[in-house]
């Protein structure tokens, strides 16, 4: 949510392979620092905290050089840009994140509190705040949340949204449910309404972090009568401060003020600009140069692509036009544990040429921190520990040592096979660096070059025959807790076909451990997730590569640009222009 494409979910993310040069999660190249944890505070009420000096009016432009997310439908919104623009500007959900003094805290949004679990933890009840309205003036009702949750199961409303990752396994009846549109006759029991003001979730097992999930746009209300199905993304009913004025899929959309937004009940958002234009697929470097020169609309534009490496020197000279911070995303190189023995994986890690790959791919020190574990260190409980098995996240690698390790294991000449992008010169050069190091280490390398379109399909093909690079190349946590990370990376149900798994791990004991920790209170679970992380690096289940960082360039008339560490985007609802 992911260097990593903005086409990355706050979950399964896609990159261009081991030498990705995409920089949408860039950073200052300075020490990462300690990101404050996301807490929960049920007592927070609206309105949002006042921003000193903020002015209303004007037009804000948001640009990104990355490809457009597949959908802006709330049901399918699972990529950082679509999640951030929807949840911070257009839709409100039962819960949401308030960022105050750099600290993101989960607070009630349209719900009166953060929900009440039953004694056995299998039922959660949420009361709604009174008087909520849509942009058309109609009242928001509990049944609208029920319909939206049921609708989010539908595979045709934007594809791979968050529901299959979570609701399918947690909600009663979720395992086989196909959504209210595809399966209108099924009496789905997973979520129900009591009157107009109460929503109840019925679970098959404990889900202590359910309030985090309910901050997704997929949990925002939609009245059944207003559902235009595949066309809904072009004109969703708004509950946030802005509504869609115009929409051109894959290119741009424009937001205008929602006259029926209730500022008094909203603890998260403001309504400063009169209009917000979002432009997709721009030429990032050109746009960033225009912004730094404050030329034309550049003075009122924020670009979220990530700072281009060629602008590194300007970070110091024009530091008041840059913001850097943590991102929820991390990149990996998957290694199939079913096909590559442990001793061989150890040799791969020792040989891996991090520095050469990054240099060849044009990756500057603005774009990453070296990763040594599977979760970003700002996740509560993720205290960095000494690297296991050579997983340093940096350095030139040591092919000579790796060759001896391979020889000692009786695996000299072991074949590594993977796909790489051959339609991008920098990615080609990154692969040259990787192949050179692995070959010097004694591996036989079968590297198959494919186009961007082919790569997207082939790296998740169930019978590719490859033993590296298949599955998840990057992941953005869905909320700051291990249960939105480790099940996706390590559980037996995660695989390349689902764009999950860093190692094609099939271990019933690990599955059981993940399920047990997931049922714990987040605070109690945090040290358990760290212990699991250490266990997985000890087994070398795939290679952590880089922690992504966020970076934004903005014009001189753009104010209060704050990094949202949980979305990897600015908190758009706090920005004003003038």
Residue 299 has pLDDT above 70, yes or no: yes
Nearest to 377 by CA among 519, 224, 530: 530
Considering the domain boundaries, does residue 215 fall inside one? yes
Considering the domain boundaries, does residue 159 fall inside one? yes
**Whole-number pLDDT of residue 103:** 80
Considering the domain boundaries, does residue 344 fall inside one? no
CA distance 87 to 93: 8
Considering the domain boundaries, does residue 489 fall inside one? no
Q: By the 8 A CB rule, do 30 and 311 touch?
A: no
**Whole-number pLDDT of residue 500:** 86
Q: What angle do CA 249, 255, 259 make, to 5 degrees?
A: 140
> How many residues are there in the chain?
578
Q: Residue 102 burial (CB < 10 Å; 0-12/13-18/19+)?
A: exposed
Q: What is the mean pLDDT of residues 544-559?
A: 95
Residue 340 has pLDDT above 80, yes or no: yes
Considering the domain boundaries, does residue 126 fall inside one? yes
Residue 116, domain extent: 68-278
Q: By the 8 A CB rule, do 175 and 203 touch?
A: no
Sequence-ordered list of residues with C-beta below 8 angstroms from that of 187, at least 6 positions apart, any chain: none
The strand pair at 59-64 and 275-280 is best described as: parallel
How many Cβ atoms from other residues are within 10 Å of residue 101's Cβ? 7
**Whole-number pLDDT of residue 484:** 95
Q: What is the mean pLDDT of residues 438-443?
A: 98
For 168, phi then psi, to 5°, come to -60, -30
Residue 490 has pLDDT above 80, yes or no: yes
Nearest to 145 by CA among 225, 248, 56, 219: 219
Q: By the 8 A CB rule, do 128 and 214 touch?
A: no
Residue 25 has pLDDT above 60, yes or no: no
CA Rg, the chain, in Å? 23
**Whole-number pLDDT of residue 7:** 28
322, containing H or E segment:
strand 322-333
Sorting pLDDT into bands at 50, 70 and 90, what band is 195? very high
Nearest to 523 by CA among 567, 483, 565: 483
Quote the number of domains for the chain: 1
Considering the domain boundaries, does residue 155 fall inside one? yes
DSSP 463-511: T---SBS-S-SEEE-SSSSGGGTHHHHHSTT--GGGT--SS----HHHH
What DSSP designation does 151 have? H
Give the CATH number for residue 231. Answer: 3.40.190.10
**Whole-number pLDDT of residue 29:** 35
**Whole-number pLDDT of residue 367:** 75
**Whole-number pLDDT of residue 312:** 85
Considering the domain boundaries, does residue 230 fall inside one? yes
Q: By the 8 A CB rule, do 221 and 210 touch?
A: no
Considering the domain boundaries, does residue 246 fall inside one? yes
Hey, what are 227's tokens? 């559902």
For 4, phi then psi, to 5°, come to 160, 145
The tens digit of pLDDT for each residue in 425-440 reads 999 999 999 999 999 9
How many Cβ atoms from other residues are within 10 Å of residue 67's Cβ? 15
């Amino acid at each position: 949510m992911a260097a990593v494409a903005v086409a990355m979910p706050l979950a399964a993310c896609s990159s261009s392979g081991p030498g990705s040069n995409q920089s949408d999660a860039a950073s200052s190249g300075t020490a990462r620092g300690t990101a404050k944890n996301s807490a929960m505070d049920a007592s927070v009420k609206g309105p949002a905290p006042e921003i000193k000096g903020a002015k209303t009016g004007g037009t804000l432009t948001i640009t990104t050089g990355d490809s457009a997310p597949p959908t802006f439908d709330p049901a399918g919104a699972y990529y950082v840009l679509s999640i951030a623009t929807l949840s911070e500007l257009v839709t409100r959900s039962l819960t949401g994140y308030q960022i105050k003094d750099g600290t993101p805290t989960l607070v009630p949004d349209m719900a009166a509190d953060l929900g009440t679990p039953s004694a056995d933890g299998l039922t959660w009840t949420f009361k709604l705040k009174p008087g909520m309205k849509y942009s058309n003036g109609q009242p928001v009702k509990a049944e609208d949340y029920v319909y939206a949750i049921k609708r989010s199961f539908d595979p045709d409303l934007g594809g791979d949204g968050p529901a299959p990752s979570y609701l399918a396994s947690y909600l009663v009846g979720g395992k086989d449910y196909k959504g209210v549109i595809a399966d209108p006759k099924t009496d789905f029991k997973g979520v129900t309404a009591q009157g107009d003001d109460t929503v109840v979730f019925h679970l098959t097992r404990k889900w202590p972090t359910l309030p985090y999930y309910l901050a997704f746009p997929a949990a925002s209300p939609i009245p059944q009568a207003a559902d235009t199905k595949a066309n809904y993304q072009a004109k969703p009913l708004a509950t946030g401060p802005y509504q869609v004025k115009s929409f051109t899929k894959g290119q741009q959309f424009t937001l205008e003020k929602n006259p029926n937004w209730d500022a008094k009940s909203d603890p998260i958002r403001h309504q400063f600009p009169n209009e917000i234009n979002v432009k997709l697929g721009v030429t990032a470097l050109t746009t960033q140069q225009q912004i730094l020169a404050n030329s034309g609309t550049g003075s009122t534009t924020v670009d979220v692509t990530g700072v281009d490496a060629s602008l590194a020197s300007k970070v110091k000279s024009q530091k008041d036009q840059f913001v850097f911070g943590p991102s929820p995303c991390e990149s990996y190189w998957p290694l199939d544990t079913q096909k590559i023995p442990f001793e061989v994986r150890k040799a791969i890690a020792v040989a891996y040429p991090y520095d050469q790959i990054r240099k060849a791919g044009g990756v500057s020190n603005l774009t990453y921190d070296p990763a040594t574990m599977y979760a970003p260190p700002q996740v509560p409980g993720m205290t960095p520990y000494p690297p296991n098995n050579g997983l340093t996240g940096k350095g030139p690698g040591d092919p000579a040592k790796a060759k001896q390790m391979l020889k000692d294991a009786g695996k000299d000449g072991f074949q590594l096979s993977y796909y790489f992008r051959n339609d991008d010169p920098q990615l080609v050069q990154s692969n040259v660096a990787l192949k050179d190091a692995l070959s010097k280490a004694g591996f036989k390398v079968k590297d198959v070059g494919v186009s961007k379109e082919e790569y997207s399909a082939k790296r998740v093909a169930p019978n590719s025959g490859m033993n590296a690079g298949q599955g998840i190349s990057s992941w953005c946590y869905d909320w700051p807790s291990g249960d939105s990370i480790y099940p996706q990376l390590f559980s037996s149900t995660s695989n390349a076909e689902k764009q999950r798994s860093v190692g094609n791990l099939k271990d019933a004991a690990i599955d059981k451990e993940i399920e047990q920790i997931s049922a714990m209170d987040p605070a109690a679970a945090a040290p358990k997730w760290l212990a699991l992380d250490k266990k997985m690096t000890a087994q070398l289940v795939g290679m952590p590569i880089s922690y992504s960082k966020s970076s934004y360039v903005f014009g001189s008339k753009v104010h209060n640009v704050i990094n949202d560490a949980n979305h990897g985007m600015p908190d758009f609802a706090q920005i004003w222009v003038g």
